[in-house]
Structure 1
């Protein structure tokens, strides 16, 4: 698959385009937010240079057909709202990840984006399975995944280091193409 051709992707209200389409300072606002980082099980970007390095690294993964990551923007205002990512892509499966600015959470943004991207993954990329890992205490993300047909894999529990360095329990959710 040639990943670089998969942009922009449009939903009814949002545009998914390469991270380089958006201002680094806007991406930094997301990557610097401690609550978003903890919910995703990643560390906080401490400065804008770390975010610039992240954007460059992620776009390198896209250009080398190793991952797909998009900035999510408002279709009308073009404001940066968050990110959506498919990585660990094989011929049959991919991992799903997403983050939204705190002000945009629980506003229906990711519900619309996830619905569209599930169809994209199964119908365009012909994947058979999507996998999403989320923090065990991230009830909003878990509810979103379950509402979109993902099921929790009770035998999967992983601890990741959080922003503070304390372990964060991660749960896995899976959606199979034949079950949607």
Structure 2
């Protein structure tokens, strides 16, 4: 497998996905205190800036060890930091992965665009046959956006897409 270190930046029509180390820690820490659209695993974020720094270091170690891909999401036009997205599942023998994210509620219009890019990126670079997204609580708007890009809900809080 190719080293994950070269997988940045990743671009969409409106967004730049780059390592979290390219974003000021204060911007990342501020995201955790704002209303956000978030997956179940991404909800457990730090509440203190020192803990945010430790979490960024932990995430980047996992990226450099090819265990996950995590990018900070920035609006390419305004340079506003809007969220974080991760591809996970590289450690398991199963051919399925997961997408985790936290997106500032004020920038939720980018949710479908960034998730769709993560799916395409996964198809282009990895051999997952399925990706899933799990929520503790999902809005009907988020469910509709995910359905619009090919995800199927299981009636609970989990959505999957076949690759």
Q: TM-score, normalised by structure 2?
A: 0.86
Q: Name the larger-Rg structure.
A: 1
Distance change (3 Å), C-alpha of 1:44 and 1:114: closer
**Cα deviation, residue 44, structure 1:** 4.8
CA RMSD of aligned residues (A): 1.9
Aligned partners of 1:32 and 1:45 also within 8 Å: no
- Structure 1 residue runs of 4 or more that deviate by more than 6 Å after TM superposition: none
Unaligned runs of at least 5 residues, structure 2: none
Structure with bigger strand share is 1
Aligned partners of 2:15 and 2:74 also within 8 Å: yes
Matched, 1:142 2:128: no
Count of residues in correspondence between the two structures: 158
Q: TM-score, normalised by structure 1?
A: 0.79
**Cα deviation, residue 146, structure 1:** 1.4
- 1:126-177 CA-to-partner distances (Å, cap 9, x unmatched) read 32110110124433332222111111224xx6xxxxxxxxxxxxx2111111
Unaligned runs of at least 5 residues, structure 1: 158-170
**Cα deviation, residue 124, structure 1:** 2.2
Matched, 1:95 2:98: yes
| Residue in structure 1 matched with residue 36 of structure 2 by the alignment | 36
Matched, 1:130 2:116: no
